[in-house]
Amino acid sequence: MTPLELLALICFFVIVRVAISLRPEPVPAAARSGPSTRTVIREYLDAFIVAGLVALFLITFVVRTFFIPSGSMEPTLMVHDVLLVNEFEYRFTKPHHGDIVVFPPPKSEPNDFIKRLIGAPGDTLRVHQGIVYRNGEALVEPYIQDKPNYELEIKNYGIYVDGNRLDPEFANIPPKEKWSAPDRIPDGCYYMMGDNRQNSEDSHAWGFAQTGGTFATGERKGEKASFTGHAFLIFFPLNRIRILK
């Protein structure tokens, strides 16, 4: 249910609640005890309205749902999983290594992507023989499906895959003046990877994701960049309910 649909439903119940309140209530017989049926209905409606308003606030400003359409994050996230995404967190804290993030990608796509945050501003990053090295240390990644089948290195103010630099015409690669060092991820930029490394269109294809500003280069150059939120819970299907770590 979208926020607009929920708001319409709440308005309907408010109207019903007001109508019940305005309608004269017959005086109960002296022998009758306990609350009347209308009183009970009013109490239930009041509780529903309050709960609905709280839910409207949450889904508008705090959390949203996200449906997994592809296998790029398997085995962590499966096709048709439905997640809860915290839209509030990144307004006050920076993203962390390992976060599963929902964000608009720097390529022409109508929907948000979901990937794992592997590299943050100031990090060095390299993929060699299937192992990801961040700041010179090999990452232990029990969550991945398969190791990446490509070589990758951030160097010379660019992202190089199998020895070839990603083309800024198609990938988001900030210009040289935005980098603090030729081999370190620029400020505001993040390197994202899917857990299904051999079946994931991620930063090795379209460059850096960004938490703000506008995309520097690539298909969406000049368009607003952001992080939608941090995915923290699978809540459907029921046999898949779990907190994401």
Catalytic positions: 72, 115
Which own/partner contact pairs does 15-22 have at CB distance under 8 Å and 24+ positions apart? Answer: 16/45, 17/42, 17/45, 17/46, 17/49, 20/45
- 45 to each of 12, 18, 27, how far by Cα in Å? 11, 10, 22
Residue 119, helix vs strand vs coil: strand
Residue 238, C-beta contacts closer than 8 angstroms, at least 6 positions apart: none
Report the SS3 class of residue 221: coil
Beta bridge partners of 43: none
Q: Which residues pair with 86 in a beta bridge?
A: 63, 230
Structure tokens at 202: 């991620």
